[in-house]
Structure 1
């Protein structure tokens, strides 16, 4: 086995990606799965009476080589996929699921942890919490099942691993293989910066002219600015066709039957464990607790958002008709006319904004914000990573290393779309302890040529802050055990730090210091800054409705009997909501990767809004002090939220920080929906 896969020798303890070859992974998985199996077996078969140290604590390190290997491989599969990695992912997914089932369904481990729970009062609070979570995980995995039910549960988990891998790879194939060549006659309305980006995308693929790809940083601005309605429709249909059998991959990437089978197997899995449906199973350990509570929150916001969106649809429809186009406003029209309206009402032009939002400047804004709040320092270092675009920083505080932070910001073929935060190494205090290695991945439009500035949109800048908010949850983690550190928290709590951190981008003092013109170095004019901030909710009806549609469809899919035809059920749910026809779901079922590429957000897409209730309320704590950088509130935020991981229940941590329950008022106010709701 290539030792670099499990014993990292690069700068700051990073893996040497330059010494790792694709052919190294298969034998490494063979070895690491064997070693993990042996380590867990020694714990389960231990003849000594069960104790916290010989069982629960031992499990925390039993699979460390496998965990490190998976961290490297699945990071590469997301940021730099190729046919060899995709094939290995298909091969390894059921093997990892089988190993996971064998461990988490082992009745001997279940009995040992259950026995330790009898004496849990003798444990420290964190050790007791870890023991409780370990037992809960074993129970929810099916360790208490016997006979046919046990065998069926293992089979379901293996099959789900295969299906979720296929789903994700189908979406990636459709995204990677689609390009739309735009003739010169189709460039009308497009700003120069977008045309340059389209031409750079063409050159990257060895093509002439200019193209639109399914990278969000290209296709969204194209839909916002392209005057050619037919080209907008073609681009929009390709974007929304990902995974439905009509995309670039054709029938071979049709995710609709995969989604149906996933929903069926999830329901069966929940029923085997004694739950009414998958939503009941999935929401039990979350802050919300049950589907009824989730639906109540979403419905409360839905009514206000729909009213705002309907009013906006009327205005945009009139603009369409004034252009001499008869008929209704269509989904490929909304962004175009919303952008025209935003420019007219707020005197805003993206071409005016972008020169002030370069990637390097906004990274500087992120780091300085983290410094002012938490005294963190960032020093860029050179390290052999997976792409020349990827960058590394050492994060320190008072001279002590807190983390290594990796950023991979540009879209490229073979990279999964979207933005996310992951880790190569979790913080923990076992032995001498380890500090985290955190990864932020985005898909911004790269610069036209090497060395030129990379320009961000306002939404891109928000994404940058959002993902670093997740990174802070890792960087400031201070717990003993890796499985409860960092972002290993309830799904509807995990978005709190990320969404909260976005608020600092909008602080005038941050923009005044970092939003400087790429050529002249002049600060963003105060008038422009104010126009940007006044327009941040310009299309909030659309944004809220498209999000809520996806969240409500996700929830409905997992309540009661699963639909045999998810697309028909999706249409039924959307019709019942009565949303404007020009606002489709943000993520239609065939490419709803949050829900079907694994079950992390299944029955849980609502969690962004659940967390937003808290993030709006949390930022109010700073505003009540009259200072967005108030040191007392920042210290409480670190003490009770960012450092604690899952060492205590999320609702308890929230109450320690805010000393009261959050309310939806701040969310509605932040989305400019308060007047509509009232």
Structure 2
């Protein structure tokens, strides 16, 4: 028997791999074996003498490659959450071969011939609704991967996809290196001026985590480019020069002349995607990408973005007046710059609403907010979460919870990895270590990753309101995976159309701000006193302040994404193209964007959100309208509405067309007004 733990049966709790025994060197031979095994399975399905049937072709294909699938889930979890130079080297080496294998599978002439024959007969096969959906989705997967291309075009297409996989990997590793390469060290009281206690504690812990000791008898504090540190630093630091340094490092990731320069990589990715689209007969990559979405077209996307742009500009102009008022009150005479906005917006909010984030944050400890998100899932869907501290993850930060249904039956495993660290990419995300499938007899193993700044030793990690929203958002994705109840793995959980996948996550955010949830779980970490009514009222009153600014930042990023992927050829200079696009839309210079192209991982670490960053706004139309169903019922935990939500949205995966799934829940198509109202953009 092989001594490679990846090639042995995984006998850990819930079928988890033996994380402690796994080394980077184990992956190459394990993938070699898994790829060969999958190729043999595909050849066998294609070579059958029996006529194609749903069972011997489509279901068999869905069930194939199990060893490869579990390896990929594990490998990409580790490269995102617990990487190392050795693992990154393996990732670079495997990028092209894994892409080549995918192309070989989806261009397999014999297998595609069987699938196409079934697709052409689909009306006469007597298939159930989910079986037909699987056949249609698998057939489309093959088409979109180039199965119908001519032989020469197939070869070129496979080469393009292999090169893209290499570039995606380099892009992501460059962003991680750029983020890890920056540390703003603060050692004196003058450098710490304005920083509240919670931020000082988090910055001190960040220094400890990075092995930094004392300087001249004083404690070192470190601001990294983790959002949970950089955003509050820009909001509170009284040192304008340090704010500018931090802001320039944050927005400049990948836009440099050093080892982490992503400009040429961005351009080559855009050029290859344009070629990919042309091979499919499309004028540009945006047309190819949007073909398999709810939006379907650039026009539909742009109408949505334009719908919010002008109201957001007007709202941000009103916010600017308040910000400039705060500057005048502070005696500032300099022009308003991007690194000033959050600092003076925080002062304007404090003056207008008598609300200070430093006053609110002690009520939002991580442990209590995790309890809140679990409690909401229990009240809505009957789930129970049992902590399993004995189950080891890939890192000591990982916490494991068994998931039980309303009858106490085990239905899955939930893992949570909450803290920022140098071996983990930035952002927040959900992924599956194993998807649910009745045909395969598998229960889900779902992982949430966040990047919160860890609290000081002996003290809790305190979250901002935005952090709590992120916590609930990712858990909404997690519930989408945990509640999945479908027959076939390809249709399971979050494997839905890209502009539908954010509905379950963004919808779940609504419960974090509900007064009854906050009154129960938002308690001061030192006194255990609940969030006072007066403070809660201030939080609710201030909720929409700054939405003009935030909406413009998001929408501007979505506009640049769509503009770049709508080009028939890649721009010569991606930085200049980005600036020209934003100037054409008249984005105020003090606002900026959520993500610049050179570190826009949604677009360039994979193709997942390429020509698709708009999906958060698209899904927000759906989620605000969907939450209104609870509001109309008079109870945000209404049992009947929750049961319908579970059946139509959270449990159905991709077994239903998303528009039909939403209509089944809501009784009609979505309307945009609830979203505009929620953002405070309805005049």
In which range does the TM-score fall when normalised by the shorter chain?
over 0.9
Map 1:249-648 to 2 at 5 A.
251-381=258-388, 382-397=390-405, 398-431=407-440, 433-449=441-457, 451-561=458-568, 562-648=570-656
CA distance in 1, matches of 2:273, 2:7: 33
In the other structure, the counterpart of 1:230 is 241
SS in 1 for 2:258: helix
CA distance in 1, matches of 2:432, 2:507: 20
CA distance in 1, matches of 2:556, 2:232: 22
Deviation at 1:4, TM superposition (A): 4.5
CA distance in 2, matches of 1:138, 1:342: 52
Larger deviation, residues 557-566 vs 107-116: 557-566
In the other structure, the counterpart of 1:172 is 176
In the other structure, the counterpart of 1:210 is 221
CA distance in 1, matches of 2:282, 2:518: 50
In the other structure, the counterpart of 1:85 is 87
CA contact (8 A) 2:237 2:343 kept: yes
Select 1:123's aligned residue among 127, 130, 152: 127
Deviation at 1:5, TM superposition (A): 5.7
Map 1:4-23 to 2 at 5 A.
4=6, 7-23=9-25
In the other structure, the counterpart of 2:99 is 97
CA distance in 2, matches of 1:20, 1:42: 31
The TM-score, its normalising length taken from structure 2, stands at 0.96
Deviation at 1:401, TM superposition (A): 1.4
CA contact (8 A) 1:180 1:235 kept: yes
Deviation at 1:434, TM superposition (A): 1.0
Map 1:30-41 to 2 at 5 A.
30-41=32-43
Deviation at 1:321, TM superposition (A): 4.6
Select 1:146's aligned residue among 150, 173, 196: 150
Deviation at 1:400, TM superposition (A): 1.1
CA distance in 2, matches of 1:564, 1:104: 33
CA distance in 1, matches of 2:370, 2:318: 37
In the other structure, the counterpart of 1:200 is 205
CA distance in 1, matches of 2:42, 2:498: 27
What are the ranges of 5 or more consecutive residues in structure 2 without an aligned counterpart? 215-219
CA contact (8 A) 1:317 1:328 kept: no
In the other structure, the counterpart of 1:52 is 54
Say what the alpha-carbon RMSD is for the aligned residues.
1.2
CA distance in 2, matches of 1:501, 1:552: 26
Aligned length: 669
Deviation at 1:648, TM superposition (A): 1.4
CA contact (8 A) 1:93 1:165 kept: yes
Deviation per residue, 1:255-279 (Å, 9 max, x gap):
1111111111101101111112111
What are the ranges of 5 or more consecutive residues in structure 1 without an aligned counterpart? none
Select 1:111's aligned residue among 104, 110, 113: 113
Deviation at 1:22, TM superposition (A): 2.0
CA distance in 2, matches of 1:671, 1:8: 47
SS in 2 for 1:251: coil
Deviation at 1:322, TM superposition (A): 4.7
SS in 1 for 2:138: helix
CA distance in 2, matches of 1:224, 1:6: 51
SS in 2 for 1:674: coil
CA distance in 1, matches of 2:9, 2:519: 44
CA contact (8 A) 2:24 2:90 kept: no
Deviation at 1:119, TM superposition (A): 2.7
Select 1:662's aligned residue among 641, 663, 670: 670
CA contact (8 A) 2:368 2:522 kept: yes
Cα 1:23–1:232 change in 2 (3 A) is same
CA distance in 2, matches of 1:600, 1:356: 36
Deviation at 1:55, TM superposition (A): 1.2
CA distance in 2, matches of 1:264, 1:369: 45
CA distance in 2, matches of 1:29, 1:66: 7
CA distance in 1, matches of 2:336, 2:21: 54
CA distance in 1, matches of 2:170, 2:48: 38
